[in-house]
Structure formats: C-alpha cells, structure tokens
C-alpha cells in the first residue's frame, strides 16, 4: 500500500467569463493567488471545472478534502426573491448552480468549505439570507470603500468570542476588498464574526458548523499578511483532519 500524501486535496471553483450574454461560449478562469495561498498553507489545490453530471459531481466530492468558493460576479437576486437592479452583474447561472450543489452536498459530509466574497454571499443566500444588490454610502455612518477604488483595502473589526477571532485575532484588521454587494439579512443561526465600521458584515460563521469558513474580503490578495496566513492555515488544517477521518 502506498503512503498517503499528507497534503489535503482542496478543490477551487472558477469564474466563468464570456463575451456573449448567453454564455454560449465561455472561459473558466481562476486567479492564481487562490491556489498559491492554499499551497503556501500546506494544501494541494485543484481547479474544479463546472459540471452537472451527477456521477462527476459525486467524484469531485469524493476526491477533495476541502472546497474554496471564490469571488466573482453577482449572484442572481432572484435566488433571494428580488429582481436584478441596474448595477447587478449576474454571474454565469450554471456556475452558481454548480457551486450551490457542491456546497449543499459538501455541507452534509462536513467537508471544510471556505467562501470568499461572492462565495460568502452565495452561502448566506443558500442558508436563507439576503443581499444588498449595491451598497450605498449612508450619510449617518462612516463611508467605507468596499469596492476598493481608492486603496484596495479597508478596516474590519473581528468580533470577540468567535472562531475567526481565535484564528486571526480579535480587533481591528486591514483587509483587501473589492465588492459592491453585501449582506442585507444574515442567514438564520449564523453570526457576524467581522464587521466594517458602517455595520456591513464582513465575515460570518455558524456556531455548530466549524467546517464552514467565510470572509467578504480577499485574503488571497494579501499573501504576506499574518491574518491571511492564519486563515488559510486554519482552513487547510481542517481539510487535513477531514482527509484523516475520510481515510479511516
């Protein structure tokens, strides 16, 4: 019997990009920084092409020890009972359907799942929450550059007594950001684990689902940041534990 490779295999979804609105032809793209972050944290990254064949989907889940749902365009607001607004740029529908299946099936297996930006928004909606289709600055609150147009970064406050706080530390942190949507209503039973100064939820977690990790910011864009390294290492450790349990 061959010795098991100690590094967990972690599936990373891809963005679908097309020059045509009907997506008759499209390219699957993935920012190399997601894979680099997983590798740096001790995991083996593998890209997951969009699939809908049941057997292929099951093989994906059987083969991976963790899942990263990456950033991208906007989830179709009809998923949470709204019509698209002017600034909403809907992601390729088959991509969202693919990731929704992976999330639901993976959650049942207690597969470690990391949702980043759009990935967190998708998880929030799948769990019963809703989104703001566009964040408008509130004159009664601090203006936060969520879209990252000025510097690409803004501050968040990691909440005390949360798993995220235990992983990366509590208090004020500077994170890489690029999102124009955010959480309107948090999914039932989830709690905010990071909040921006305008009150926008920047990370969420479920007290009884430690295998689900979510952040609204882009930790893969801060490879030298201590908080990014700690987050990815914690996620890869969870994937390694899952791999060990799966191998028994």
Give me the catalytic one of 44, 179, 211, 218.
218
The yes-or-no verdict on residue 5 having pLDDT over 70 is no
Give the model's pLDDT for residue 2.
Answer: 43
The CA distance from 40 to 169, in Å, is 20
User: Cα separation of 176 and 120, whole Å?
Assistant: 15
Give the H or E element holding residue 214. Answer: strand 212-215
Active-site position among 15, 117, 146, 202: 117
Residue 206 is a catalytic residue: no
Closest CA to 84 of 73, 71, 95, 94: 73
Instruction: Tell me if 122 sits within 8 A of 69, measured CB to CB.
Output: yes
Give the pLDDT mean for 21-31: 84
Neighbours of 51 (CB within 10 A): 15
For residues 227 and 178, what is the distance between their CA atoms, to the nearest angstrom?
18
- Residues 158-188 have pLDDT tens digits of 999 999 999 999 999 999 999 999 999 999 9
In the predicted model, is pLDDT for residue 68 greater than 80?
yes
Q: Clarify whether 220 is annotated catalytic.
A: yes
| Active-site annotation holder among 127, 154, 220, 239 | 220
184-212 residue pLDDT tens = 999 999 999 999 999 999 999 999 999 99
Q: Which domains does the chain have, with CATH numbers?
A: 9-247 (3.40.50.880)
Active site residue 218: yes
Question: What is this structure's pTM?
Answer: 0.95
């Amino acid at each position: 019997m061959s010795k098991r490779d100690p590094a967990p295999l972690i599936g990373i979804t891809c963005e679908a990009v097309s020059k045509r609105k009907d997506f008759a032809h499209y390219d699957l793209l993935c920012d190399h920084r997601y894979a680099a972050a997983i590798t740096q944290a001790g995991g083996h990254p593998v890209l997951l092409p969009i699939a809908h064949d049941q057997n292929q989907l099951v093989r994906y889940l059987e083969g991976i020890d963790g899942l990263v749902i990456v950033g991208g365009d906007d989830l179709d607001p009809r998923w949470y009972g709204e019509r698209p607004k002017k600034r909403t740029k809907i992601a390729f529908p088959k991509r969202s359907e693919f990731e929704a299946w992976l999330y639901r099936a993976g959650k049942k297996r207690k597969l470690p799942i990391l949702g980043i930006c759009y990935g967190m928004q998708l998880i929030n909606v799948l769990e019963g929450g809703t989104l703001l289709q566009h964040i408008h600055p509130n004159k009664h609150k601090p203006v936060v550059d969520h879209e990252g147009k000025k510097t690409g970064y803004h501050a968040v406050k990691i909440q005390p007594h949360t798993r995220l706080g235990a992983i990366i530390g509590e208090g004020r942190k500077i994170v890489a950001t690029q999102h124009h949507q955010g959480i309107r209503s948090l999914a039932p039973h989830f709690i905010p684990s990071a909040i921006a100064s305008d009150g926008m939820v920047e990370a969420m977690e479920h007290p009884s689902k430690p295998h689900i990790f979510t952040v609204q910011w882009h930790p893969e864009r801060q490879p030298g940041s201590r908080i990014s390294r700690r987050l990815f290492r914690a996620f890869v450790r969870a994937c390694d534990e899952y791999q060990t349990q799966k191998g028994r």
